[in-house]
Structure 1
Amino acid sequence: MRIFVAGGTGALGRRLVPRLVASGHEVTATTRSAGRTGELRALGARPVVVDGLDGAAVGQAVAEAQPDVIVHQMTALAAAADLRRFDRWFATTNALRTAGTRHLLAAAKASGVGKVVAQSYTGWNNSRTGGPVKSEDDPLDPEPATAQRESMAAIRFLERAVTEAPLTGIVLRYGNFYGPGASESMVELVRARKMPIVGAGTGVWSFIHLDDAAAATVAAVERGGAGVYNIVDDDPAPVAEWLPHLADAVGAKPPMRLPVWLARPLAGEVVVRWMTEGRGASNEKAKRELDWRPAWASWRDGFRHGLTDPVAPREARG
């Protein structure tokens, strides 16, 4: 098939493009920087320089590529994390999830594209009530932190627009990425002991290795039906469990602990909620309907062996 990857040089795009090429697909991939076209060529794609917020340019690029499937992987998080001002940090990504999504869907309609696969997220946006692990049928948080309201609205817009479009619209809610190109900043914080356990660390997180996220995306492109899928590993876990394990895996001292009353003024509401009230996600639907299994079934092995090593676990090679 002809595949148009919008956002081919992001952390996930760089892992996705070569997998699509290896599967026999003809890939056109976008970048906002002319200086990165060589990288895309090296990955096996035909590069095109386009700003995802320029509707005319997006429409022209899609029309020239004439793809069977569009994969929306456009994000913009190059700056250092700013969780206290989350919406400001995510401002461009939010624009890509709203205006960028509209441009891609309009281009798909104009060019007769039959399927769109779009990146979403599962984690802080899950409802903080009920059980610790959420399925795709569970609601998103109706009352996000003030600093995340715009980001939540952008996620809701993307998911609604893609799944309600007159084509096969697939939304992939990826868990927290780790692996080469995705987790270096988190590891630096852990090594510097700047990522404490807040309160009892009862917030549950779900992770996914970049290579497993790429494999799931290929599965969605090739055989996915319309709908929303959680793309996470098999092992959602509370912060109090995974954070010390990560510290040990990277040779750092155990994380410090911070009471909620102190964390709130120091780190902000986003951090406190995520660390104490977060909910994980189930991957049962993706495994069942996409015929996909994460090679790194748990962050336990992934943190020890997959943070910098690009080679998948032995059982997943082939």
Structure 2
Amino acid sequence: MNVFVAGGAGAVGTRLIPRLVEAGHAVVATTRSPAKVRAIEEMGARGVVVDGLDRTAVERAVQDARPEVVIHQLTALSGPVDLRRFDRFFALTNRLRTEGLDHLLAAARAVGARRFLAQSFAGWPYAREGAAVKTEEDRLDPDPPKPQRQTLAAIRYLEDAVTGADDVQGLALRYGGFYGPGNVLGRGGQMVEQVRRRRVPIVGDGAGVWSFLHIEDAAGATVAAVGAGAPGVYNVVDDEPAPVSEWLPYLAETLGAKPPRR
């Protein structure tokens, strides 16, 4: 199939493109940086420079590609999350989840694409109620902490728009917390180095549960969703949700670091 990947030079995109090509798909992938086009093409895709917030540029690129499947992987993230300025940290990504999504979804529908996949997130967006481990049936937080409200609103907007489209099969893929090469939770990653330096403490009893996802598994699941799965929301995580009190000391031990502070 013809597949259009918006955000082909990001953490998921660079793993996704080779898998799509290997599966026999013809891939067109976007990047904001002209310097990254060559890397995309070396993976077997056709690279195009597009600003995801430029409606005209998005429409032109999608019309030229004539895709059957469109994949939204647009983010603007680097380094560990700034918890004190959460919404500010995610501000551009939130625009890509709303304005950028609108441009891409409209372009996909205009060319008759049959499936539309979009990156979402599994973890803190859930309501702080009930069981610690959540499913797709659990609701998102109706009253998030003030510093996270804009970000959760953008996630909710993305999921509602994608799954509510009536002329395209829309799937929102809620990825877990990424780990693996090139990520903050990977060799040399910023969070790994913070754990090594004991700068990531266990707060309270450490009962907060994290669901992780290896970056290669994120790409694999996305390839699977290109041709399978009913429209809707999917949690894409590993099968071992872990409380902070377990995974953080284990990570420190694996790194040969001292136990995290409490």
**TM bracket, shorter-chain basis:** over 0.9
Q: Letter of the 2:201 partner, please give it.
A: P
Gaps of 5+ in 2: none
> Aligned equivalents of 1:240 and 1:115: distance in 2?
40
Q: Helix, strand or coil for the counterpart of 2:28?
A: strand
State the partner residue of 1:172. 173
Specify which of 247, 257, 260 is matched with residue 252 of structure 1.
257
Q: Helix, strand or coil for the counterpart of 1:170?
A: strand
Q: Identity of aligned pairs, percent?
A: 60
Q: Letter of the 2:222 partner, please give it.
A: T
State the partner residue of 2:10. 10
> Aligned equivalents of 1:12 and 1:89: distance in 2?
19
1:65 paired with 2:33, answer no
Q: Letter of the 1:168 partner, please give it.
A: Q
Q: Letter of the 2:197 partner, please give it.
A: A
Q: Tell me, yes or no, if the aligned pair for 1:2 and 1:68 is still in contact at 8 Å.
A: yes
Specify which of 202, 214, 217 is matched with residue 212 of structure 1.
217
Q: Letter of the 2:255 partner, please give it.
A: V
> Aligned equivalents of 2:6 and 2:229: distance in 1?
18
Q: Letter of the 2:251 partner, please give it.
A: L
Q: Letter of the 1:177 partner, please give it.
A: F
Q: Tell me, yes or no, if the aligned pair for 1:5 and 1:28 is still in contact at 8 Å.
A: yes
Aligned-pair Cα RMSD in Å? 0.9
Task: Check 1:144–1:238 CA distance in 2 against 1; reply closer, same or farther (3 A cut).
Answer: same
Task: Check 1:80–1:234 CA distance in 2 against 1; reply closer, same or farther (3 A cut).
Answer: closer
Q: Letter of the 2:99 partner, please give it.
A: A
Q: Letter of the 1:9 partner, please give it.
A: A
Q: Letter of the 1:243 partner, please give it.
A: L
State the partner residue of 1:190. 195
Alignment of 1:89-238 (within 5 A): 89-166=89-166, 167-182=168-183, 183=185, 184-238=189-243
Q: Tell me, yes or no, if the aligned pair for 1:37 and 1:48 is still in contact at 8 Å.
A: yes
State the partner residue of 1:276. none
Deviations 1:154-205 (A, max 9, x none): 0000000000112100000001000111121210111111110001101011
> Aligned equivalents of 1:251 and 1:18: distance in 2?
34
Q: Which moved more, 1:19-28 or 1:76-85?
A: 76-85
Deviations 1:241-277 (A, max 9, x none): 01011111222211111xxxxxxxxxxxxxxxxxxxx
> Aligned equivalents of 2:79 and 2:53: distance in 1?
19
How many residue pairs get aligned? The number is 257
> Aligned equivalents of 1:132 and 1:82: distance in 2?
24
Q: How far off is 1:78 after superposition?
A: 2.4
State the partner residue of 2:244. 239
Task: Check 1:204–1:192 CA distance in 2 against 1; reply closer, same or farther (3 A cut).
Answer: same
Q: Which moved more, 1:78-87 or 1:101-110?
A: 78-87
Q: Tell me, yes or no, if the aligned pair for 1:79 and 1:89 is still in contact at 8 Å.
A: no
> Aligned equivalents of 1:244 and 1:114: distance in 2?
45
Q: How far off is 1:109 after superposition?
A: 1.4
Which one has the bigger helix percentage? Answer: 1
Q: How far off is 1:148 after superposition?
A: 0.3
Q: Tell me, yes or no, if the aligned pair for 2:80 and 2:191 is still in contact at 8 Å.
A: no
> Aligned equivalents of 1:32 and 1:78: distance in 2?
15
State the partner residue of 1:311. none
**Runs of at least 4 residues of structure 1 off by over 4 A?**
none
Q: Helix, strand or coil for the counterpart of 1:100?
A: helix
Q: How far off is 1:218 after superposition?
A: 0.5
Q: How far off is 1:81 after superposition?
A: 2.9
Q: How far off is 1:43 after superposition?
A: 1.1
1:51 paired with 2:38, answer no
Alignment of 1:286-297 (within 5 A): none
